[in-house]
Chain A
Amino acid sequence: MYTANREYIRRFGPARLVEHWLNAGTFILLVITGLAQKFHDYDISQWIIMSFGGIDTTRLVHRYSGIALTILTVQHILVASFGILFRKWQPSMVIHMKDFRDAIDNIRYYLGLSDEPARCDRYDYKQKFEYWGVVVGGMLMAATGLALWFPTVVTQVLPGQFIPAAKALHTNEALLAFLVIVTWHVYNAIFSPEVLPLDTVIFTGKISQERMIHEHPLEYERMFGVTLPRHHGKDEEPSEASAAPGHGSTPSP
């Protein structure tokens, strides 16, 4: 359950924090060992592979990190599915038409075409984009990775060309994931002026009330049963009265 006080609102339980950092760790290991193989002609790649003790060890580390990420992904899908099934979790990651409208609204706001940014719920469209990228991309990487690991098994039933196709998918999807993480995710979590120097939510599990109102106004309103004043160009602190936490509200994860 979430503990809400004046300054900070709990957003993630410890399990989700651990999950994120396990994900991050295996992802980093996979990126290092994987990109070194993809760009094997570069000196840095050769240094990395040599540091791991040769190409065979590098591949071994890559494959076992891959298994770890697969387990994490599968476990997450199971936990989330059962969580939603038994009504412990809200299906807050489901993509709605509103998310596309929010993206357009936000871009219009950035361009100065509207006065107000999109008003998002528990997860905004940027977070949903990354979440589904990780889940769907993770499954794709696991499937193609296994095909590359066991090509003779795959070609017992599937055409041979599926192996180079799996490699093309694996290597391109990996590059895409890497680039999205180093641009989009790193910007949003570290360099964005709204979180600079660091978005601490993923360390503490708590978000400040100010950011909550700014970034997840719909969730905030539902959580505390209040109606926030609409933005008019500039971020405004909610008034003391309207922002008063309403006890007994049901926060949705």
Chain B
Amino acid sequence: MTVQKSHLSAFVVLVIMLSFSFSGAQLSETDQACLGCHEMEQSMHFGNGEALSLKVNPHEVEKSVHKIIGCSSCHGFTPDNHPKRSYRSRKEFSSLSARKCTRCHDTNESPIHKKLIDESATKTTCTDCHGAHNVKRVRELSKGNQYCLTCHNKELEVHYKDGHAEKAMIDEAVLNNSVHKSLSCVDCHVRVSSEDHPIREFRNKREFSMVMAENCRRCHFDKYSRTLEGIHFKQLTEGNVKAPICSDCHGTHAIASARKDKLANAQKCEQCHKDIYAIYAKSVHGAALIKENIEDVPICSDCHKAHDNAGPHTADFRISVPQTCASCHAKKEIMQKYGLSTKVIDTYLQDFHGVTMKFYKQYGQTEKQIAVCIDCHGVHDIARVRNQGAAVVKQHLLKRCQKCHPDAAANFPDSWVSHYEPNFKKASLVFLIDLGYKIFIPFMIVGLLLQIILHLWRYAVNR
């Protein structure tokens, strides 16, 4: 302590007189005597070099619920008996001081208090949350989220049975930036209220997250019921706790709209599917999103779906591929921005593979395999065709053709007119044959019909 004992008695007299004039009459004389010195700017220094101001605001004390018990009830000092003490750290000082709370307040009444005191009395002390000189009645504390934050904006920790500890401190700014900012803490943390804060024991953080994620469905039941059809939920039920739950993709306190930021959305999948994301990042779609910030391109969830992602290895997924691609590639308003043709879908659907696919789909023969978009264009590694040389495209295509047509020769890829409607420049032979018949068929049929009519007419005249 830095206050010199020799000056003390002189101060006491002065303080008593002064405190009568400054402070309210409610404080006891002894307390006013204490404030006589502690209203002044002074500080104490700890062994570790920390400093603590010893100035006490008399108004705080007056408003405090503890104003009736007097300074010495907690501090043990009186103006006459004020021994010099030294502490290693500020924390040591406050935790030793806080022990005195337990003289009156039974911590066993509240399990969370008991746990905090028992587990980490040196880390978390009563005053951290309740304050020291300004201690208030619980019912006078703030309402709503601020009530929770009274404690949870402090350096609290939660401990799991596996020995791991995690911060239980919540940054209010993060909460206010989330899409859930208008919700209360207890909307998600359902078992906790201002009345009751039960202690729940979890084996590890994952178990806690999984239990917490159960609460999302209280509002988002539609999404939840869709996840039941998804491959991730299936894996969870099979015991794979690494399979993603709501909070793995959406976050917790910082929860944000998944629609706003497509790149961030895709990166959520990257957390587990790193290798696929790396391939996607190099594809025409991924590169446009990542390098050029073009948001028209599909991200993972556009093709795989988000909540009801049934996995790509189902027959239904495969046969729906043309429809999936068509959801962008058949839309003029998107395609014309990039000078792409919307005829790619129709030309496919009118050709052998497309017709076959259509009928397989129509009659539920989804187990049968027929070439769809991805069989020629690739899946995550879809590349731009336009800027490649025709020879390169053909060479790549041949390999893809050979997957189903093992005896395909170098000429074989040309048997596909590459999504063009035959014209004089592309596929001129096909174009000329079609044109020839377009003229010849009507010419022939009209000619024959005319002969029939003439014949009938002549027959009628002869009769």
Chain A residues with CB under 8 Å of chain B are 37, 40, 46, 49-50, 54-56, 107, 109-112, 151-153, 155-156, 158-165, 167-169, 172-173, 175-176, 179-180, 183-184, 187, 192-194, 233-235
Are A164 and B422 also in contact (CB < 8 A) when A54-B359, A55-B356, A155-B415 are? yes
Of A110, A158, A164, the most chain B CB neighbours within 10 A belong to: A164
Contacts of A49 in B (CB 8 A): 359
- Say how far B404's CB is from chain A's closest CB, in angstroms: 10
Interface stretch of the complex, out of B227-235, B320-328, B429-437: B429-437
Contact partner of B415 (CB less than 8 A), chosen from A161, A176, A180, A233, is A161
Instruction: Give the docked Cα–Cα distance between A195 and B457 (Å).
Output: 16
Q: Is the Cβ of B409 less than 8 Å from the Cβ of A193?
A: no
Q: Is the Cβ of A168 less than 8 Å from the Cβ of B359?
A: no
Closest residue of chain A to B445, judged by CB?
Answer: A179
Instruction: Give the docked Cα–Cα distance between A149 and B222 (Å).
Output: 49
Contact partner of B449 (CB less than 8 A), chosen from A110, A153, A183, A233, is A183
Closest residue of chain A to B436, judged by CB?
Answer: A172
Q: Is the Cβ of A46 less than 8 Å from the Cβ of B362?
A: yes
Contacts of B414 in A (CB 8 A): 155, 159-161, 163
Does chain A have a CB within 8 A of B451?
yes
Which DSSP category, helix, strand, loop or mixed, fits chain A's interface?
A: helix
Contacts of A153 in B (CB 8 A): 407
Closest residue of chain B to A170, judged by CB?
Answer: B433
Q: Is the Cβ of B430 less than 8 Å from the Cβ of A175?
A: no
- Say how far A88's CB is from chain B's closest CB, in angstroms: 33
- Say how far B413's CB is from chain A's closest CB, in angstroms: 6
Closest residue of chain B to A235, judged by CB?
Answer: B462
Instruction: Give the docked Cα–Cα distance between A242 and B301 (Å).
Output: 91
Q: 14 A-B residue contacts at CB 8 Å?
A: A40-B355, A46-B359, A50-B362, A110-B454, A111-B454, A155-B414, A161-B427, A164-B427, A165-B427, A173-B437, A176-B444, A179-B441, A180-B445, A183-B445
Closest residue of chain A to B431, judged by CB?
Answer: A168
Contacts of A159 in B (CB 8 A): 411, 414
Instruction: Give the docked Cα–Cα distance between A155 and B440 (Å).
Output: 28
Q: Is the Cβ of A107 less than 8 Å from the Cβ of B454?
A: yes
The 10 A-B residue pairs with the shortest CB-CB distance in the complex, in nearest-first order: A160-B414, A163-B415, A172-B437, A55-B359, A110-B454, A155-B411, A168-B433, A160-B415, A160-B411, A155-B412
Contacts of B437 in A (CB 8 A): 168, 172-173, 175-176
Contacts of B360 in A (CB 8 A): 54-55
Does chain A have a CB within 8 A of B363?
yes
Instruction: Give the docked Cα–Cα distance between A194 and B454 (Å).
Output: 14
Closest residue of chain A to B405, judged by CB?
Answer: A152
Does chain A have a CB within 8 A of B458?
yes
Of B454, B455, B462, the most chain A CB neighbours within 10 A belong to: B455
Are A155 and B434 also in contact (CB < 8 A) when A37-B355, A161-B414, A183-B448 are? no
Contacts of A155 in B (CB 8 A): 408-409, 411-412, 414-415
Contacts of A167 in B (CB 8 A): 430
Does chain A have a CB within 8 A of B419?
no
Instruction: Give the docked Cα–Cα distance between A112 and B459 (Å).
Output: 11
Does chain A have a CB within 8 A of B456?
yes
Are A152 and B409 also in contact (CB < 8 A) when A40-B358, A54-B363, A110-B458 are? yes
Does chain A have a CB within 8 A of B13?
no
Chain B residues with CB under 8 Å of chain A are 355-356, 358-360, 362-363, 365, 368, 405, 407-409, 411-417, 422, 427, 429-430, 433-434, 437, 440-441, 444-445, 448-449, 451-452, 454-459, 461-462
Contacts of B362 in A (CB 8 A): 46, 50
- Say how far A183's CB is from chain B's closest CB, in angstroms: 5
Q: Is the Cβ of B411 less than 8 Å from the Cβ of A158?
A: yes
Of A153, A161, A194, the most chain B CB neighbours within 10 A belong to: A161
Of A40, A155, A183, the most chain B CB neighbours within 10 A belong to: A155
Q: Is the Cβ of A193 less than 8 Å from the Cβ of B452?
A: no
Contacts of A233 in B (CB 8 A): 462
Contacts of A152 in B (CB 8 A): 405, 407-409, 412
Q: Is the Cβ of B459 less than 8 Å from the Cβ of A193?
A: yes
Closest residue of chain B to A192, judged by CB?
Answer: B455
Q: Contacts A49-B359, A54-B360, A187-B452 known; list 7 others, CB within 8 Å.
A: A110-B451, A159-B414, A173-B437, A180-B444, A180-B445, A184-B452, A193-B456
Contacts of B416 in A (CB 8 A): 160, 164
Contact partner of A156 (CB less than 8 A), chosen from B411, B422, B441, B452, is B411
Contacts of B449 in A (CB 8 A): 183
Closest residue of chain B to A103, judged by CB?
Answer: B451
Contacts of A40 in B (CB 8 A): 355, 358-359
Of A54, A160, A162, A233, the most chain B CB neighbours within 10 A belong to: A160
Closest residue of chain B to A150, judged by CB?
Answer: B407
Contacts of B430 in A (CB 8 A): 161, 164-165, 167-168
Contacts of B462 in A (CB 8 A): 233-235
Contact partner of A176 (CB less than 8 A), chosen from B407, B409, B413, B441, is B441
Q: Is the Cβ of A165 less than 8 Å from the Cβ of B355?
A: no
Contact partner of B448 (CB less than 8 A), chosen from A46, A158, A175, A184, is A184
Of B415, B427, B440, B441, the most chain A CB neighbours within 10 A belong to: B415
Q: Is the Cβ of A172 less than 8 Å from the Cβ of B434?
A: yes
Q: Is the Cβ of B413 less than 8 Å from the Cβ of A160?
A: yes
- Say how far A46's CB is from chain B's closest CB, in angstroms: 7
- Say how far B459's CB is from chain A's closest CB, in angstroms: 5
Instruction: Give the docked Cα–Cα distance between A110 and B323 (Å).
Output: 56
- Say how far A48's CB is from chain B's closest CB, in angstroms: 11
- Say how far A105's CB is from chain B's closest CB, in angstroms: 13
Contacts of A192 in B (CB 8 A): 455
Instruction: Give the docked Cα–Cα distance between A157 and B400 (Å).
Output: 20
Instruction: Give the docked Cα–Cα distance between A176 and B442 (Å).
Output: 9
- Say how far A97's CB is from chain B's closest CB, in angstroms: 20
Instruction: Give the docked Cα–Cα distance between A235 and B408 (Å).
Output: 64
Instruction: Give the docked Cα–Cα distance between A180 and B451 (Å).
Output: 13
Contacts of A50 in B (CB 8 A): 362-363
